[in-house]
């Protein structure tokens, strides 16, 4: 297991990850660790990864776009599929299944004071022992046209917002 970024560690802006698969990695933070803004993750799969934060992907930066990607059976303390610290996060057309965390079973987004948005995505059987079985927003967030089925948590079986919300 590595400290950060078991598969990839990126320090810089304008990262694009397209049509890539990440399986069976262990790290402190993220199979993919990115410290930078304007990140795009497109048509990629993150499966069976483990970390303290963001077993699939960990991003510190603004203007993140994640689309048409799959996050399955990842395990973390916070945000087993995705962990993002930043503003203007957009997640769309993605699938999250059987992810498990203490907070944010599939997705954990914090410092999302400006337009954290999840649209057209599916969340099935994700779990958190604390907050947000599928999604934890530590700031304002918006959820549009999403499907939630069988997610559970102590607080907010599907969604937990610590800030303004629009569903």
Is residue 30's pLDDT more than 80?
Answer: yes
Spatial distance between the Cα atoms of 167 and 165, rounded to a whole number of angstroms: 7
Instruction: Round to whole Å and give the CA distance between 56 and 125.
Output: 17
pTM, whole model, 2 decimals?
0.95
Write down the pLDDT at residue 113.
Answer: 61
Per residue in 72-87, pLDDT (tens digit) is 999 999 999 999 999 9
């Amino acid at each position: 297991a590595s400290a950060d970024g078991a598969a990839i560690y990126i320090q810089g802006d304008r990262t694009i990850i397209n049509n890539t698969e990440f399986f069976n990695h262990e790290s402190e933070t993220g199979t993919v660790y990115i410290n930078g803004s304007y990140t795009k993750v497109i048509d990629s799969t993150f499966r069976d990864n483990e970390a303290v934060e963001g077993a699939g992907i960990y991003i510190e930066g603004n203007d993140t776009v994640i689309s048409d990607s799959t996050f399955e059976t990842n395990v973390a303390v916070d945000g087993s599929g995705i962990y993002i610290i930043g503003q203007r996060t957009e997640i769309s057309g993605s699938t999250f299944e059987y992810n498990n965390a203490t907070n944010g079973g599939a997705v954990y987004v914090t410092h999302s004071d400006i337009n954290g948005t999840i649209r057209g995505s599916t969340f099935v059987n994700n779990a958190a022992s604390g907050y947000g079985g599928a999604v934890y927003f530590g700031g304002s967030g918006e959820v549009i046209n999403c499907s939630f089925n069988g997610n559970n948590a102590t607080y907010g079986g599907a969604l937990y917002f610590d800030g303004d919300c629009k569903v």
